[in-house]
Amino acid sequence: MRMSTKAQYAVRALVSLNLSGNLAPVSIKEIAAREKISLNYLEQLFVKLRRGGIVRSVRGPGGGYLLARSATEIRIDQIIDTVEEALMPLSCMNADGSCGCGDECTTQSVWHGLGMQIRSFLASVSLEDLTEQGRQQLGRRVANN
């Protein structure tokens, strides 16, 4: 299974946002530069993330984005669901996990099981978990320089 760049970029951008702290809004331009993601692409993702209740925007001078709720409450599967249609291991699977091939598919149960395992794993990881890993990586980089 291959995750799209939408999902990868959204998760990276939100970790970056959370690393910046929730004291003041962070500009999307700053996140785009730090993560080396196209500003236009990131703006499109943040529209979806805002609509999905993951982030909230603050307008005006000093505006930007903040997490809409605690990073410990935001799960990676929620982020992916917000920016993508469905998280399925095969293109023939429907959003509910059923097989688009119908009764002819003899392997449906294994692919459905795989999809459920992937979803379960992603639901077990919070944005705060990834942010903590990011803090540790930054700490190691600073210590090595």
What total number of domains does the chain contain? Answer: 1
Residues 45-92 pLDDT 10s = 999 999 999 999 999 888 999 999 999 999 999 999 999 866 666 666
Looking at residues 4-23, what average pLDDT do you find?
Answer: 90
DSSP letter for each residue of 105-130: -TTHHHHHHHHHHHHHHHHT-BHHHH
The total of other beta-carbon atoms located within 10 Å of residue 84's CB is: 14
Q: Is the pLDDT of residue 122 over 70?
A: yes
**Percentage above 90 pLDDT, the chain:** 57
Give the predicted TM-score (pTM) of the model. Answer: 0.84
State the helix-helix crossing angle for 5-19 and 127-144, rounded to 10 degrees: 70
Domain range spanning residue 138? 5-144
Q: Which of 43-47, 48-52, 100-104, 140-144 has the lowest mean pLDDT?
A: 100-104
CATH number at residue 57: 1.10.10.10
